[in-house]
Structure 1
Amino acid sequence: MNILSFPKKLRLLKTNDFKQVFKNAYKVQNKEIIIFGNPNDLLYPRLGISITKKKIKYAYLRNKIKRLIKEYFRLSQNFLIKMDFLVVVKKNILINDKKLFIKKIHTLWKRYYQFHK
C-alpha cells in the first residue's frame, strides 16, 4: 500500500462497523472533538467520521473539516495502532486557522500512536 494513499479499505463505511467501534471504544476528547478507537483484526487502521448538520450547519464547513481529518489520518496512518477510529465533532468548531485545528487533532491522535502504547 502506498504510504500516502487513503483507499476505500481504510474507511469505515458500514453501519455495523460504526456500531462495533462504539461498543468497546477507548475515547479521547477535547471540547469540540471525540475520537473513539476500537482494536481490529486487520493489519491497518481504519477511519470513520461523523459530523451532523445540527453541529455544523453549512456543508462546505463539514466537508472542510472532513478533508482536514482525512489528510491528517492519511499522513499519520503508519504510526497509528491497528484500530478502527471514529471521529465525532460534537460542537461548532472554528477552522479558520488550519494550524490550530491540526494541532487540536494531533493532541488527540497522539494517544493512539504506537510509540505511546
Structure 2
Amino acid sequence: MVTYEFNRESRLLTPGQFQQVFSKSSRFGSSHFTILITSNNINKPRIGFAIAKKRVKLAAQRNRIKRITRESFRLQQHELPNIDIVVLVKSGIDNLDNATINKQLVKIWRKIIQRHKS
C-alpha cells in the first residue's frame, strides 16, 4: 500500500547527512532551483533544505517555498530512487507564484527519475 506520509525519516536531520550530500552529489536544476542528490542506503528518499536568507529575505517566503517543496516531494517520493536531496534556491524565487514553483519541481523530479532509470 502506498502511503503519502512525510515524517522524520523523510528528512535530512544532521549536519553530517547534509555534508554527505554536499561532498559528493550530482546536481539538477531549473531557473530557480538547484537540487543536489546523492544515493543513500536506506530504502527511501530523504530531503533537506538550505535556503539562504541572502536569496530569500523574508522568513514567510522561505517557509512558503519549503512548504511547497515538501508537499511536492511528499507526492513524488514513491517514484524517486533512494537518494538524499538538498534543495537550494536562486534569487528571485520569492516572486514566483506557488503553481510556477510546483511546475519547476515536478520537472526536476521527472529528470531525476529518468536519470536513475538508465
> Residue 89 of structure 1 aligns with which residue?
89
- The one-character-per-residue Cα deviations of 1:17-60 (angstroms, maximum 9, x if unpaired) are 11100122110112211011100000000000111111101010
Secondary structure of the residue aligned to 1:80 is coil
Give the Cα–Cα distance (whole angstroms) in 1 for the partners of residues 17 and 115 of structure 2. 26
Give the Cα–Cα distance (whole angstroms) in 2 for the partners of residues 96 and 31 of structure 1. 11
Is the alpha carbon distance of 1:35 and 1:78 closer, same or farther for their aligned partners in structure 2, counting shifts above 3 Å?
Answer: same
Is the alpha carbon distance of 1:82 and 1:114 closer, same or farther for their aligned partners in structure 2, counting shifts above 3 Å?
Answer: farther
Does 2:48 match 1:17? no
> Residue 98 of structure 1 aligns with which residue?
98
Give the count of matched residue pairs: 117
Work out whether residues 26 and 37 of structure 2, in 8 Å CA contact, stay in contact via their aligned partners in 1: yes
**Structure 1-normalised TM-score?**
0.91
Is the alpha carbon distance of 1:80 and 1:4 closer, same or farther for their aligned partners in structure 2, counting shifts above 3 Å?
Answer: same
Q: Quote how far apart the aligned CAs of 1:100 are.
A: 1.3
Structure 2 gap segments, 5+ residues each: none
In structure 1, give the amino acid aligned to 2:10.
L
Q: Quote how far apart the aligned CAs of 1:76 are.
A: 0.7
Give the Cα–Cα distance (whole angstroms) in 2 for the partners of residues 114 and 29 of structure 1. 14
Among the aligned pairs, what percent are the same residue? 35
Work out whether residues 21 and 37 of structure 2, in 8 Å CA contact, stay in contact via their aligned partners in 1: yes
Is the alpha carbon distance of 1:5 and 1:83 closer, same or farther for their aligned partners in structure 2, counting shifts above 3 Å?
Answer: same
> Residue 108 of structure 1 aligns with which residue?
108
Give the Cα–Cα distance (whole angstroms) in 1 for the partners of residues 106 and 2 of structure 2. 22
